[in-house]
Amino acid sequence: MNEMMLAGILHGAKDMHVEKCAVPALRAGMVRLRVRRVGVCGSDMHYFEHGYCAAFVPTRPFILGHELTADVEAVAADVQTIPVGARVTVNPARACGFCDYCKAGRGNLCRQTIMLGSASTVPPTDGAFAEFVTVRADQCHILPPQMEDGLGAMMEPFAVALHAVKRAGLVSGRKVLVTGGGPIGLLVLITARALGATPLALSDTVAGRRQTALKLGADLAWDPATKNLAEQSRELTGDGFDIVFEASGAPPALRQAFNLIRPGGTIVQIGTLGTEDVPLPANQVMAREIQFIGSFRYGNVFDEAIRLVSSGRVNLEPLISQVFPLEEVRQAMQRAFAKDEVIKVQIEINGRSQ
């Protein structure tokens, strides 16, 4: 196999180029994947715009990307769980497998996690904006033959949404609000709808996202700055929403959630709020017995996510807005910032355009 490959390498803020680099080595317990399709995530956009993401500052140029469909090109000698030639999606968060969190089935909380396409490690861990990438064998989840590459690359963000909805408990028949109409917020909306939530509302400051939410099944989509928002909420729900999924990462949206949740309701925090503390109405949490819980990445939901999509119960195709070839990775990153026009931008690498 050729020892060099093409990859989109980030050198700094808005400084990304397609270059030749070494094909990653195949180590024990690992598989080498030939990437077919990869999605652009919000964290990729942060790295591209600022050169870093929150507290994660790259110590060298590296390859972004962690939402992917790929073919298994080679496996290490000790790998017997997945065959060469299988088409897979990937859980990009490689937990250690041995700590108390991993043993308790909560690998998403593992403190030793290595994340594809992230500067959370030193040096950074290269990701999937490349012709090849290596991952541990147990990170791979085989895709059904009929599932298109684009949908396979949606499994990672869909897993974020599915884990969040499951964190809230039973949603069937519950009144649900999603704050934030980006890809994760819209995926939460779709997931909650598929699992029986009704009525469903979404709030976002971007008009295009509100229109998309209505097309995807929201009963109501509003601008959070609307003056009569509380009245609209009462008309729809009576005493407030049973569940609020906060997917915007905006402190005002989280604060507003406490005004719109009913007594005894649940607020699930999904959006990243940054590194500074956010003031919260703790007295309301006590006096109204509000449950405020977090949802981080994903639990063991990838196979369930694949089944929900392959069965047709959840349709993710409307969320894929535009596909670029690897050679235009910089244009793909720039396009992903058009929040009122696109939801999910993907990059075609070794697969076939669909």
Q: Of 187, 185, 192, 175, nearest to 260 (Cα)?
A: 175
Instruction: Give average pLDDT by consecutive 10-residue segment, the chain, 354 residues.
Output: 88 97 97 98 96 94 98 97 97 97 96 97 97 98 97 98 97 98 97 97 96 96 89 89 97 94 97 86 96 94 97 96 97 95 95 48
Q: What is the pLDDT of residue 25?
A: 95
Q: Which two tokens stand for residue 47?
A: 């790295």
d(CA 121, CA 100): 21
Residue 354: its pLDDT value, please? 41
Which amino acid does the sequence have at 214? L
Task: Give the position of tokens 């939402």.
Answer: 67
pLDDT at 253: 95
pTM: 0.95
Burial 155-170 (b: 16+ CB within 10 A, else e): bbbbbbbbbbbbbbee
Superfamily of domain 161-294: NAD(P)-binding Rossmann-like Domain (3.40.50.720)
Concatenate the DSSP letters of all residues of 200-239 into one string.
EEEE-S-HHHHHHHHHTT-SEEE-TT-TTHHHHHHHHHSS
Q: According to the model, what pLDDT value does residue 228 have? A: 83
**What does the pLDDT read at residue 353?**
41
**Which residues make beta-bridge pairs with 241?**
261
**Which CATH number does 4-154+316-348 carry?**
3.90.180.10
Beta-ladder partners of 135:
31
Concatenated DSSP letters of 31-42: EEEEEEEEEPPH
The full set of domain ranges for the chain reads: 4-154+316-348, 161-294
pLDDT of residue 54: 86
Q: Helix (H) and strand (E) counts for the chain?
A: 11, 18
- Is residue 19 within 8 Å of residue 10, measured between CB atoms? no
Find the Cα–Cα–Cα–Cα dihedral 70, 87, 77, 107, rounded to 10°: 70
- Residue 305 and residue 155 in contact, taking contact as beta carbons nearer than 8 Å: yes
On whether the CB atoms of residues 291 and 258 are closer than 8 A, the answer is no
